[in-house]
Amino acid sequence: MRKALIGLLLTGWGAAATAEPVVIAALGDSLTQGYGLVQDQGFVPQLQRWLVAEGAEVTLINAGVSGDTTAGGAARVAWTLTPEVDAMIVALGGNDLLRGIAPEVARGNLATILTEAQQAGVEVLLIGMQAPGNYGAEYKAAFDAIYPELAAQYGALFAPSFFAGLAAEGDPSAVSGLMQGDGIHPNAEGVARIVAALGPHVLDLIRSAEE
């Protein structure tokens, strides 16, 4: 939407605006960046191909940084939201969990990201992350609640889990075959299943950005 408004201002209200692809920045960590995979098999390239196959006119920007926490995302979101960006996928929190960062700290960082996007007029798809049970029930409840609550507060679209496409397998042994050797990052087939599950949410994001 904001790009269309800029185009109208530049070309004049009476001139027909030229349709352009929706530009989406994918702000995330190694899962977004494509850790351990050849470039065209990472999350962003596979998602780009999936969306195009669905008929979407879209360009994805890989704003994933391996090892990034929500604090890192908050620190770089302002320069990620360049004028051509219409929408943003936010997939952060896994490294906060690995470091045992307090849920209220992660919440504050994600709120900063969503505030920056809101002020820039950029639509957001917030992808949830769930804490493992061994962190304790209190920690898990506090962390898991961050994502749906912030999505509701800021009017962002919400996808419950980055790994929903893998969980659908229902068989732990099958899921292990979709992961790289470290057991943390998906392999190319795992990414394909993640993309298939998240793709419809991104199509919703594109429609929201076009309104």
Active site positions, annotated: 30, 182, 185
Q: What share of the chain is helix, strand, coil (3-state, %, to 5)?
A: 55, 15, 30
How far apart are the C-alpha atoms of 123 and 86, rounded to whole Å? 7
Local structure of 105: helix, strand or coil: helix
Long-range (24+ apart) CB contacts under 8 A made by 165-174 are 165/190, 165/193, 165/194, 165/195, 165/196, 165/197, 165/198, 166/190, 166/193, 166/194, 168/193, 168/197, 169/193
Buried b or exposed e, range 41-55, using 16+ CB within 10 angstroms:
ebbbbbbbebbeeee
